[in-house]
Amino acid sequence: MKLRYTAAWVGFTAVTLVAVSGCGAGSVKQAADAVDDTGAIMAALARATDRTEQLGSAEISMTTDLANGSGPVRMEGTYSWGDGFAYDVEMDTKAAQMQEVQDAPTIRMLFVDGDYYYDVDPQPSGPLKGKEWMKIDGSAVFGEKGAQAFSGNTGGGSPSATMRSLKYAQDVKDLGEQTLAGQRTTHYRAVIDTSRLGRFKDAYGDKDSLVNSMTGGGTSIDMDVWVGAKDLPVRIKQVVGKMTVTMDFRKFGATAKVAPPPAAQTADVSDLIKQTAKKQG
């Protein structure tokens, strides 16, 4: 099995996790200059943050675009953060450059306990021989220290963590009312410096990591949030380096359980991905 495109895509999909991570609770120190507290704006965002945290999961549609000519890649599925951050999504196989391991037009990807799982076609030989799932641990994407930020039950990477991060943003603005997906929303814009991401900045700090190479090493996150009438985000759009991620929320609900696939059906190719990325670097 050739891993060149697989390694590239792992980095590509992983940066969406970083882009929606923001700051986990307690991951940064409150500073007097963290935000210009404009009262009504921060109160509205605090309400949206609380509502998002309470509901625990959401059905989403997400588009990731690196603006490098490869075209945008769309994902659809469930993000869950009520009991640790996890997701279960489907994406276009060809756009994801995963044709070598999946013949179907779409491929399923899970993120559980800091590791990635891809639902692949069992191969006749090689590391995926007879296996239905391909596993890649977070350290292959973020580096050892960066991966630790996304493991466990911190919720790091979730839309809930994203909303919390707005509390520590700079230049938060209310851009007024807009109609989006048939809903009346208020559009907010903010800038978050990656140095304010606490332990999540480790995901950016390793210059040799796949995530760093795919984002171009962005030093800030430009974030737009559209909040609807129910005090819930309708859309979050973020720009990190040369990457743009747009997440639309279709439905919020009770925490969805996302479990890793059976170990007997899984092949761990993390070391191969690290070797391939090192050669390409």
pLDDT at 236: 93
Cα 18 from Cα 213, distance rounded (Å): 13
| Residues in the chain where the model's pLDDT stays below 50 | 1, 4-5, 17-36, 153-154, 199, 205
Question: How does pLDDT run across 251-268, given as a tens digit for each residue?
Answer: 998 777 889 999 999 999
What residues form DSSP beta bridges with 76?
A: 61, 90
Q: What is the pLDDT of residue 150?
A: 56
Q: Which two tokens stand for residue 119?
A: 């639902």
Q: What is the predicted pLDDT for the residue at 159?
A: 85
Residue 215's CB is within 10 A of a number of other CB atoms, namely 26
DSSP string of the chain? Answer: ---HHHHHHHHHHHHHHHHTT---TTSS---TTS----THHHHHHHHHHHHHHHH-EEEEEEEEE-SSSS--EEEEEEEE-BTB-EEEEEEETTTTT-TTT--SSEEEEEEETTEEEEE-PPBSSSTTBT-SEEEEETHHHH-HHHHHTTSTTS-TTSHHHHHHHGGG-EEEEEEEEEEETTEEEEEEEEEEEGGGSGGGGHHHH-TTSHHHHHHT--SEEEEEEEEETTSSEEEEEEEETTEEEEEEEEEEESPPP--PPPGGGEEE-HHHHHHHHHHH-
pTM of the model: 0.80
Query: What pLDDT is attached to residue 59?
Result: 94
Provide the pLDDT for residue 166: 81
pLDDT tens profile 30-50: 333 334 456 788 889 989 999
